[in-house]
Amino acid sequence: MATSGHHVRHPSLRPFPKSKSFASPRPKSLIYSTSPCSSRGYLALQIQSCAGAAGDVLPKSPPMVEQPGGKMVVELVGAFNELTERMGGALSTSSSSRLLFKSLKLSIPLLQALPFAPGGRPPLSRALSVAFLLADLQMDAEVISAGILREALEAGALTIHEVKSQIGASTAHLLHESLRIRHVPSKVDILDDENASLLRKYCLSYYDIRAVILEVALKLDTMRHLDFLPRYQQLIMSLEVMKIYAPLAHAVGAGALSLELEDLSFRYLFPHSYVYVDTWLRSYEAECKHLIDVYKEQLLQALKADAKLEEIVDGISIQGRYKSRFSTMKKLLKNGSKPEEVNDLLGLRVVLNPQPGDGMLERGHRACYRTHEVIRTLWKEIPNRTKDYIARPKPNGYRSLHVAVDLSEQGKVRPMMEIQIRTMEMDSLAVGGAASHSLYKGGLTDPEEAKRLKAIMMAAAELAAVRLRDLPSANQRGALKINHRNRAFHLLDKNGDGRISIEELREVMEELGAEGEDAWELMQLLDSNSDGSLSSEEFDLFQRQVEFMRNLEDKDDNYRTLLGEKLQITDSTGLIHVYRKELGDKLAVS
């Protein structure tokens, strides 16, 4: 197994791409669309009338899909395309695509037949958002398949046995594991720190780590929609998440999930404190997030231009982060810090790669101290806040040089920025070793435990990759690198003759539990040259329409979030007036 150096990771365990917006809480489920274009309650692909803003891309005479079978095909194709796009490189084989397609085909009709959850959330919508979360995490197709089916299983619309026979043993195993984990917290009466810690350890030792990640994703999805539940349930759920699931997420390397879980439970457990911290952080957020990018680039350029550093390092990378709500609250409560004393609202981390060979260790140290000097030429260092864990490592072995700088300029008060400086070797210890952040924050106390966990996780992912590998076969199509847009087409074109025939369309409809009749109607709509089958061009047109509708929903979501944030009322603090003004400015412009 390739484990040399901390940069080599299994593809299915890559941390999710930084550039990707991870926070896409609502999945796009077209059937339930309430977008202005589908106001009649069914999916109308009548796009041109409301395409003003983006009308250029749209094909002529768009069809209208009304029958249940047609709607399910739309849903299937739309969800499949979005999933595969989010998975990016993690979807490397056609057996992975087939597994996902099969799982969607099985679950879509089952989920559509289920009643809505409390608060009116469609079960399909929930299943898809969990699957998208897992795809963003770059989980493999088996985990995502389990995510797609989990909701139907829990509702009793499907059994593990059926999953095993219709989808496969690995997906069934993951679902079995995830149901077992679900029952663990309820076995403990009191969720004090000690019990919680024992429970986390138990989960990590006795369950498939990938099932733990599936459970964590499900919890995050629930937490994102907690408003619908009664207050007492919100509290119980939030407590469980804070004590078990957020630290679990951290321990399995899903750091961003853990931060969001913590912030969400914080919001429900301590609503008043949350409003205070949130309002305060928000007042800096837009500016500071932008500044982090600016300073990161500025520092990188200064370091690259430094002749002394150039002599001793091969590479420099810098990461930036804005502190989370919950982490900030903990800091404010710790030693009664005042807000202006929190020195790491903005954070940069410089990781240096010293030139290899004799004396590399010493060169690494020199590079860190030289970086410190360069930082001093750029910003004002705050006295007494510098910590040199390189000269004096922490007892757990943690090494790094921490500096806090003052960013205020021309009387404009800004929060401080913490810069952590370390070599790649120090960083791998802080990320994955005995001084790892998961131990530091995730509630694991035994360094050996962390190593073992990581090994188990890598092995599970490795196995999944072997199972999902395409076997060389007579079927050459499987080996061809199929462009992602065409994946759905190839999966529907079962005999591989390059067209989707009416029989093939009818087959998928029947698999979706719809009438064969619907296939004929859908064919009429999509078959623009009326030759009785769908070419890849005709199908592509259809996919573009589906995509367009999904984008419309995204926009609506964005606007709604924006408006929700801007218009919220927190009378007690008075700080929200700022946003009202911002909103006024925005409205005046558009």
Ligand X SMILES: Nc1nc2c(ncn2[C@@H]2O[C@H](COP(=O)(O)OP(=O)(O)OP(=O)(O)O)[C@@H](O)[C@H]2O)c(=O)[nH]1
Ligand Y SMILES: Nc1ncnc2c1ncn2[C@@H]1O[C@H](COP(=O)(O)OP(=O)(O)OP(=O)(O)O)[C@@H](O)[C@H]1O
CA nearest 310: which of 367, 375, 368?
367
Two structure tokens written together for 64:
């209208």
Rank residues 128 and 292 by Cβ distance to ligand Y and give the closer one. 292
Positions 344 through 363 that interact with ligand X (CB under 6 A): 344
Residue of the chain from 93, 195, 197, 396 that contacts ligand X (CB under 6 A)? 396
Closest approach, Cβ 572 to ligand Y, in A, equals 27
Q: Please report, for residues 271, 304, 337, the alpha-carbon distance to residue 267 in angstroms, rounded to integers and kept in the order given.
A: 5, 42, 20
- Position 41, amino acid: G
Judged by CB under 6 A, the stretch of 353-361, 366-374, 435-443, 475-483 that binds ligand X is: 435-443
In sequence order, the 6+-apart residues with CB closer than 8 A to the CB of 404 are 343, 344, 381, 382, 385, 386, 416, 417, 418, 419
Three-state SS string over 63-130 comes to: CCCCCHHHHHHHHHHHHHHHHHHHHHHHCCCHHHHHHHHHHHHHHHHHHHHCCCECCCECHHHHHHHH
- The listed partner (Ca ion, ligand X, ligand Y, none) that binds 327, CB under 5 to 8 Å by sort, is ligand Y
Q: Which is nearer to ligand Y, 266 or 542 (CB)?
A: 266
Least distance from ligand X to the Cβ atom of residue 35, Å: 43
Q: Is residue 321 a contact residue for ligand Y (CB under 6 A)?
A: yes
Binder of ligand Y out of 319, 396, 486, 570 (CB under 6 A): 319
SS (H, E, C) 297-331: HHHHHHHHCCHHHHHHEEEEEEEEEECCHHHHHHH
**385 scored as a contact of ligand Y (CB under 6 A):** no
- Judged by CB under 6 A, which of 43, 111, 163, 435 binds ligand X? 435
**Which of these segments, 80-88, 326-334, 370-378, 481-489, binds ligand Y (CB under 6 A)?**
326-334
Verify binding: residue 427, ligand X, rule CB under 6 A.
no
Burial profile 540-559: b = 16 or more Cβ within 10 angstroms, e = fewer: bbbbbbbbbbbebbeeeeee
β-pairing, 346-354 with 417-423?
Answer: parallel
Residue 528 found at the interface with ligand Y (CB under 6 A): no
Residue 306 has φ and ψ, to the nearest 5°, of: -80, 120
Task: Show the tokens assigned to 8.
Answer: 């080599």
Residue 372: name its binding partner from ligand Y, Ca ion, ligand X, none (Cβ under 5 to 8 Å by kind): none
CA distance linking residue 108 with residue 128, whole number of Å: 10
Is 343 a binding residue for ligand X by CB under 6 A? The answer is yes
Q: Give the rounded distance of the alpha carbon of 415 from its chain centre.
A: 28
State whether residue 557 is helix, strand or coil. Answer: helix
469 near ligand X, rule: CB under 6 A:
no
Segment 518-577, which members bind Ca ion (CB under 5 A)?
Answer: 527, 529, 531
State the binding partner of 531 from ligand Y, Ca ion, ligand X, none, CB within 5 to 8 A by kind.
Ca ion
Query: Does 451 interact with ligand X (rule: CB under 6 A)?
Result: no
3 state SS of 10: coil
Candidate ranges 139-147, 294-302, 313-321, 547-555; the one touching ligand Y (CB under 6 A): 313-321
In three-state secondary structure terms, 478 is helix
Name which of 132 and 398 has its Cβ closer to Ca ion.
398
Q: Contacts with ligand Y in 238-257 (CB under 6 A)?
A: 255
* Residue tagged 């419309």 (tokens): 552
In the complex with Ca ion, the residue whose CB is nearer, 233 or 529, is 529
Rg (C-alpha) for the chain, rounded Å, is 26
Residue nearest to ligand Y (CB): 347
Tell me the per-residue interface mask from 400 to 419 with ligand Y, x by CB under 6 A, - otherwise.
------------------x-
Decide the pairing of beta strands 380-381 and 401-406.
antiparallel
Q: Does 387 engage in binding with ligand X (CB under 6 A)?
A: yes
Q: Does 366 bind ligand X (CB under 6 A)?
A: no
Scanning residues 63 to 82, which ones bind ligand X (CB under 6 A)?
none
Residues forming the site for ligand X (CB under 6 A): 343-344, 387, 394, 396, 398, 402, 430, 435-437, 440
Summarize as ranges the residues that interact with Ca ion (CB under 5 A). Answer: 344, 527, 529, 531
